[in-house]
């Protein structure tokens, strides 16, 4: 078997058989470890991430700064900056194509086996998996017009002429609600407002109709009115195109508005995963509960002080045995929580949590 055959597995199913599958994930991440090797030591940004991304849904990833949210997205795109690298784990992309006879061809590719600059990875990046970054001014090239930058993305991944690419760029700006889209094509990034630049970034990301859109805190630098418009826009586009969105944020209010399912991360691991309703109304992990308790509630008449999570996020170079949250956890059980990482436990349908309150099983860390 060749190396390419080892990386790719193709199966053919009928449309009925595919529809009958209980779980349909477009992306599967298993035991992903992305570490940064610096002069100060090893920063274990991702230390065993397990994550299933459902096809056609909006998955939110939430957690404090430094928990590994952005590194997860960069690992998926194989854009981890030096001195970081993926040291172990799998990122499985499940492609799906429909043949003229109605059969569904599925192809699974392990992205960790592809070189970041290989032709296949470059073809996937942008065309099948696109990303909207947090600050568009650092992502858009100030030397080129908005039209040229969107047109470049289209020409790279689609077999069209320059004239057709220019027309498609204008159509895409119109689709994302850009005022005077044909005029904006001729403008430079500094000539646009923050909301207009973010719409241009969304248009560029969607220009090739990707299967997966990763949005890394795309509304952080915007005012609340513009933020609401961008969130509504992304939700409408997701419903129209049927793509999958991975929405990364620390804002639980945005998670409640945008997402179908939520993954809570802490120190490079997913500690809880549930539907957005279950997470807000029935959180299980002590860290998730603490996050929700720290949110101020509009209209609350109680005068109790706003809750906070005791302690601080550990040093990124620190090695913590057992559950990574146990030094700050009110439910800490000595001799148990500080020994092994809790194994994932299903506490309800589609509700996973890593905590010894719900399971006695632990995991021996690989490469920790």
Q: Could you tell me the mean pLDDT of each successive run of 10 residues in the chain, 368 residues long?
A: 43 39 80 94 93 94 90 95 94 84 85 94 90 78 92 88 92 88 93 87 86 87 80 84 90 89 95 95 94 76 74 83 91 91 92 93 65
String of b and e for 189-212 (b: at least 16 CB within 10 Å)?
beebebbbbbbbbbbbbbbbebbb
User: Would you list the domain boundaries of the chain?
Assistant: 285-297+304-363
Contact 276, 323 (CB under 8 A): no
pTM: 0.86
Q: CA–CA distance from 58 to each of 114, 255, 259 (Å)?
A: 26, 10, 5
Nearest one of 346, 309, 356 to 328, comparing CA atoms? 309
Helix ranges (H only) for 178-329 are 181-184, 194-206, 224-241, 252-258, 276-281, 286-293
| Beta bridge partners of residue 266, listed in sequence order | 269
**Residue 198 pLDDT:** 85
Region of residue 56 (phi > 0: left; psi between -120 and 50: alpha; otherwise: beta): left
């Amino acid at each position: 078997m060749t190396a390419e055959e080892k990386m790719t597995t193709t199966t053919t199913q009928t449309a009925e058989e595919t529809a009958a599958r209980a779980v349909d994930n477009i992306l599967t991440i298993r035991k992903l470890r992305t570490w940064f090797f610096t002069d100060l030591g090893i920063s274990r940004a991702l230390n065993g991430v397990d994550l299933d991304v459902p096809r056609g849904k909006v998955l939110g990833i939430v957690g404090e700064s430094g928990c590994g949210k952005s590194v997860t997205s960069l690992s998926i795109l194989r854009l981890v900056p030096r001195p970081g690298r993926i040291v172990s784990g799998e990122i499985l992309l499940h492609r799906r194509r429909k043949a003229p006879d109605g059969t569904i061809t599925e192809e699974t590719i392990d992205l960790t086996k592809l070189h970041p600059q290989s032709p296949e990875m470059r073809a996937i990046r942008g065309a099948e998996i696109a990303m909207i970054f947090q600050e568009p001014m650092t992502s858009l090239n100030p030397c080129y017009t908005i039209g040229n930058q969107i047109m470049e993305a289209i020409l790279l991944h689609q077999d069209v002429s320059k004239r057709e690419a220019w027309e498609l760029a204008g159509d895409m700006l119109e689709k994302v609600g850009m005022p005077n889209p044909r005029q904006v094509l001729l403008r430079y990034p500094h000539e646009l407002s923050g909301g207009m630049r973010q719409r241009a970034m969304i248009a560029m990301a969607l220009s090739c109709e990707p299967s997966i859109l990763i949005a890394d805190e795309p509304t952080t630098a915007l005012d609340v009115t513009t933020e609401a418009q961008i969130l509504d826009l992304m939700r409408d586009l997701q419903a129209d195109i049927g793509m999958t969105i991975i929405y990364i944020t620390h804002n639980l209010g945005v998670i409640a508005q945008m997402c179908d399912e939520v993954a809570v991360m802490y120190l490079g691991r997913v500690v809880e995963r549930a539907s957005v309703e279950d997470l807000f109304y029935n959180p299980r992990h002590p860290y998730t509960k603490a996050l929700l308790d720290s949110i101020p509630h509009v209209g609350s008449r109680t005068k109790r002080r706003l809750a906070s999570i005791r302690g601080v996020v550990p040093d990124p170079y620190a090695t913590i045995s057992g559950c990574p949250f146990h030094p700050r956890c009110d439910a800490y059980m000595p001799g148990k929580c500080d020994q092994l990482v809790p194994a994932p436990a299903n506490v309800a349908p589609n509700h996973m949590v890593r905590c010894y309150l719900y399971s006695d099983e632990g995991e021996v860390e690989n490469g920790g």
